[in-house]
Amino acid sequence: MATSEWEIGQCWIDVTDVLSAGVGRVLLYGPPGTGKTYAALKLGLARGISERLVCTEDLTSGEITGTWMPTGAGKWEWREGPAIRSWKNNSGRGGRLVVDEVDRASGDALSTLLAMTDSQESARWRNPETGQWVKPGPDFSVVMTTNAEDLEDIPLALRDRFPVAIRIDRPHPHAVATLSDDLKGPALHGSLGAADRRVSLRSFYAFDQLRAKLGAARAARLLFGETTGQAILDALSMGALD
Amino acid sequence: MKGSVFPELVHGRLDGFEQGAWILEPGSVFRGGARCNLGERVLTVPHGDDPVSRVVRAHELAHIRVSPFLREHTPPDADVTDRALECAEEFRINLILARLGFDVALLCDGSERPGGQRLAQAGAWGEIVCFLLAVLGTGAESEFLRGVRSVQPTWVAGLRSLKKKVNAMVGDLDTRTLGDTTLDDEGRPVGYTNVTVPIARLISRSGAAAAPEGPDELRVFRRSLELDSRRAPSGVFAPVLFDESMPYVVRAPSPGHRRARPSTSGSVMRFPSRLLTDPLQRAFARKSAGAGGVIVIDQSGSMDVTVEELENLLSSAPDALIVGYSHRPGDAGVTPNAWILAKSGRVALQARSGNIGNGVDGPVLQWALRQPRHGGPVIWVTDGQVTDSHDHPCHTLSLECAVLVQRHRIRMVRNLSEVAEALRGRKVAKGVFGRVGRELAAIQSFVPDTG
C-alpha cells in the first residue's frame, strides 16, 4: 500500500486532537462502517472504560438512567443505567459515554439523553432509591455517533450540546491492521463513494475471512451479490495487478 | 448504476495519487463514450451489466490504477506527440487488462472498419499508426486493419511490422512492470516512462514518416523501427515553430546611414523645410535602397551565426529582417526551428545554434516572402540542400523550394560573406549549387525566365 494510504485522514486527526484537548462533547457522523463507534470507545480515553448506548426507536429513559429490578422476596433494587454509571466511573471522576445511532432515539429517550449529556454545571439526577442528587464527574465525556450524512438531519438541541461535530468519511488506519495487505487500501476508502457503492469495513473483514476458505469469487458473490460482487472483484484486481 | 463500478476500491498506486470519492457519470460502450478524469476524479462509464460494459469499465479502472495524474509526470518530449502518447497509453491499458484476464476482444464498437477506410482515404497515415496502437490486441484491431486495407492495401505490411515491433517491446514485461507507478529518480512513473513513452516515441516517428508503399520503402521503414536507427523519410517539411525566447537589444543606427532620403515626390511630406532651402524642393522621403530585405539563413549542420557576423550584415542592410532556421529531425513540435536574428532595429543578443537538420526550408522561405522587405530582396543563405522533417533529402521538397526561388526571385548565396553583394543586386552564386540549384536549372531549362 502506498505511504499516503497509510496516512491518517484529517477526520481522525481532528477527533484525536479534540478529545485530547479535553472537549467533552463530540458528535461523530458519516457513512457506516468507518469505525466511529470503535474510535468513540477508545480514542482519548486515558483510563477507565466506556459505557455504550445504542439508540433505537424503542429505547426508554430507563435504559439510559436506570431501572428498578426485582431481587426476589418482593424486593426491588435500583440498577443504574450506562449514563449514570459513566458519570460515576473512575472513582467518581467520570468516564466516557458513547451514544450510537443517536438520530434514531425517540422523543422521550432524546430528552433524557439531553439531560444526561448537559454540561457538568447543569446536569444532575436524583437517585430514586437513595434520594441523593448525583452530578457527572469532572472527566465525564460523551461521544455520540450517527450514520447521518448531514448535520441537518440531527436535532438542533442535540447539535447545540455537541458543538464539535466531525464527519468521519474513512476508517482509521489502525482499524484495517488485521486485514490482508491487498484489502487494506480498498477498505480504507471503501466508504468514500456515494451511498450506493460503499463497502463497509465489516464487509471487508467478512470478505477476507470468507475468501480464505471459499475463494474470492464465491466470497464476493455471497457477500455482495452476483453483479456487485463481480464489480468489486474487478476493482480489487486492478490494485493487485496480478 | 448501483454496484456496477467501484473506483474508490482501486488501490496500489505509489506515485502520490490520493484516492477519494469519485463522481460517476453515465457513459456508453461506444468509442469515446467512457473516460476517466484523474485530476477531478470523474469517471464516465457505461452502467450495463453486459460483458462489454464490464470490460469498458475495467479499462477505465485500469487508468485509475496506472495512468499518470500530474502533468509533471509527463514532461514534454520533443520526440513524442500528445496523440502518440494517448494511443500508447491506451495500448498499455489494454495490455494490462488482457493480462488480468479481461476479454479485450469485446472492445470493438463496429466503427473501426469504416474508420480505417476513412483515414486511409484521407491519406492520414500518422493517425492510422496511432489508432492502430490504441486498438492493438483488442477486437477492434483486425476490423480497423481491414478498413485500411480496403483502401490502401500496401500500407498494411508496414502496420504489421509496427505491431510486431511493439509486441516485442512488451513481450517480456510482467504485468506489475507494465503498471508500475513507482516514481523514478526524475520523478516520473516507471511503467509509463518505460513502456508508454518508448512506444509513443516509436509511433511518433513511424507516423511522421511517409507511408511505406513499395518494397524499398518498406525495408527502410522496417529498419527505422529498430532501436537508435535513422527515422524513415517523412517526405514533408515540419511546421515552422519560432523561438520566442530570444533576447534582443536595440541596435544603434550605423553612422552616416540614412534610412530616408529626400525626394521630390511621395505621400507624406517629411522635410517641409526643404521647400524653402532645397533648390529641388525634395520635401518628401523615400527609403534608402538596399537598406532592407529579408535574409534567410540555413543554420543546419554546424553553422552558427555570430553576433559580429550579424553586425556586419546589418551594416550593409540596417532594415533587413534576418531569420535563421534549422529543424531538429523528428521533433514533434516542441523545439523551435526558426528564430529572428534581427528585425526593426533590434538584434539578437546572443548567437543561436542550429538543430542539425534543415526540415523547414520551404515553410521558412514562404514565411519570409510574406514579410515586408523595405525595398530589398529575399536572400537565402544555403548550401542548396533541402531535407524533410526527418532530415532526409527529398526531390519533391527540393523542387518546391526551387519553384519558390524561381518564382519570387529569391537570391541564393552560399555563405554570409556573399550577402552584401547579393543585397546590392550583384550576381554572386555562379552556376548552380546543391539539389535546389539542380532543380532550379531543370526548371529554367523548361521555363525560360522572361524577367
3-state secondary structure of A107: helix
Taking CB atoms and an 8 Å limit, are B6 and A241 in contact across chains?
no
The H or E element containing residue B24 is: strand B23-26
Distance, in Å, from the CA atom of B282 to the CA atom of B256, rounded to the nearest integer, reads 19
Taking CB atoms and an 8 Å limit, are B20 and A189 in contact across chains?
yes
- HSE of A2, CA atoms in CB hemisphere, 13 A: 21
B414 and B381 Cβ atoms separated by less than 8 Å? yes
Distance, in Å, from the CA atom of A126 to the CA atom of A134, rounded to the nearest integer, reads 6
A34 and A9 Cβ atoms separated by less than 8 Å? no
Q: Which residues of A touch B36 (CB under 8 A)?
A: none
Interfacial A residues in 105-164 facing B (CB < 8 Å): none
Residues B183-235: pLDDT tens digits? 999 999 999 999 999 999 999 999 999 999 889 999 999 999 988 888 999 99
B14 → closest Cβ in A2, A227, A238: A2
**A181 interfacial to chain B (CB closer than 8 Å):** no
Mean per-residue pLDDT, B312-330 = 88
Measure the CA angle with vertex A233, ends A232 and A235; round to 5°. Answer: 65
Taking CB atoms and an 8 Å limit, are A189 and B64 in contact across chains?
no
Say which DSSP state B327 is in: B
Chain A residue with the nearest C-alpha to that of B174: A242
Q: Which residues of A touch B3 (CB under 8 A)?
A: 196-197, 224-225, 227-228, 231
Is the pLDDT score of B180 beyond 80?
yes
**A94 interfacial to chain B (CB closer than 8 Å):** no
- Nearest Cα of chain A lies from the Cα of B354 at a distance, in angstroms, of 45
Please give the radius of gyration of chain A, using alpha carbons only, rounded to the nearest integer: 21
Long-range contact pairs involving B420-429 (C-beta distance under 8 Å, separation at least 24): B420/B312, B420/B313, B420/B316, B422/B377, B422/B379, B423/B290, B423/B293, B423/B316, B423/B317, B423/B320, B423/B376, B423/B377, B423/B379, B424/B290, B425/B377
Taking CB atoms and an 8 Å limit, are B8 and A193 in contact across chains?
yes
Alpha helices, H only, B238-306: 274-277
Which residue has cell 458543538? A163
Q: Which of A188, A241, A242 to mutate to test the interface with B (most CBs of B within 10 A)?
A: A241
Residues B221-248: pLDDT tens digits? 999 998 888 899 999 999 999 999 988 8
B9 → closest Cβ in A196, A225, A232: A232
Taking CB atoms and an 8 Å limit, are B7 and A193 in contact across chains?
yes
- Nearest Cα of chain B lies from the Cα of A120 at a distance, in angstroms, of 39
Taking CB atoms and an 8 Å limit, are B16 and A192 in contact across chains?
no
List the grid coordinates of A168. Answer: 468521519
Taking CB atoms and an 8 Å limit, are B6 and A232 in contact across chains?
yes
* Model pTM score: 0.78
Amino acid of residue B42: V
Q: Which residue has the higher pLDDT, A207 or B291?
A: A207
Q: Which residues of B touch A186 (CB under 8 A)?
A: 8-11
Distance, in Å, from the CA atom of A77 to the CA atom of A66, rounded to the nearest integer, reads 10
Decide if the complex's ipTM is over 0.85: no
Contacts of B157 (CB under 8 A, 6+ apart): B212, B218
Distance, in Å, from the CA atom of B97 to the CA atom of B66, rounded to the nearest integer, reads 11
Distance, in Å, from the CA atom of B88 to the CA atom of B178, rounded to the nearest integer, reads 12
Q: Which residues of B touch A1 (CB under 8 A)?
A: 11-12
Q: Which residues of chain A have pLDDT under 50?
A: 1-3
Is the pLDDT score of B12 beyond 80?
yes
Helix axis angle, B215-224 to B197-208, nearest 10°: 150
Distance, in Å, from the CA atom of A38 to the CA atom of A34, rounded to the nearest integer, reads 9
- HSE of B13, CA atoms in CB hemisphere, 13 A: 24
Chain B interface residues (partner A, CB cutoff 8 A) = 1-14, 16-22, 24, 49, 54, 57-58, 61-62, 64-66, 96, 100-101, 175-176, 179
- Nearest Cα of chain B lies from the Cα of A200 at a distance, in angstroms, of 11
3-state secondary structure of A167: strand
Distance, in Å, from the CA atom of B202 to the CA atom of B132, rounded to the nearest integer, reads 13
The reported pLDDT for the residue numbered A154 is 78
Is the pLDDT score of B448 beyond 60?
no
Distance, in Å, from the CA atom of A58 to the CA atom of B349, rounded to the nearest integer, reads 86
Q: What count of other Cβ atoms lies within 10 Å of the Cβ of residue B149?
A: 18
The reported pLDDT for the residue numbered A6 is 55
- Nearest Cα of chain B lies from the Cα of A45 at a distance, in angstroms, of 30
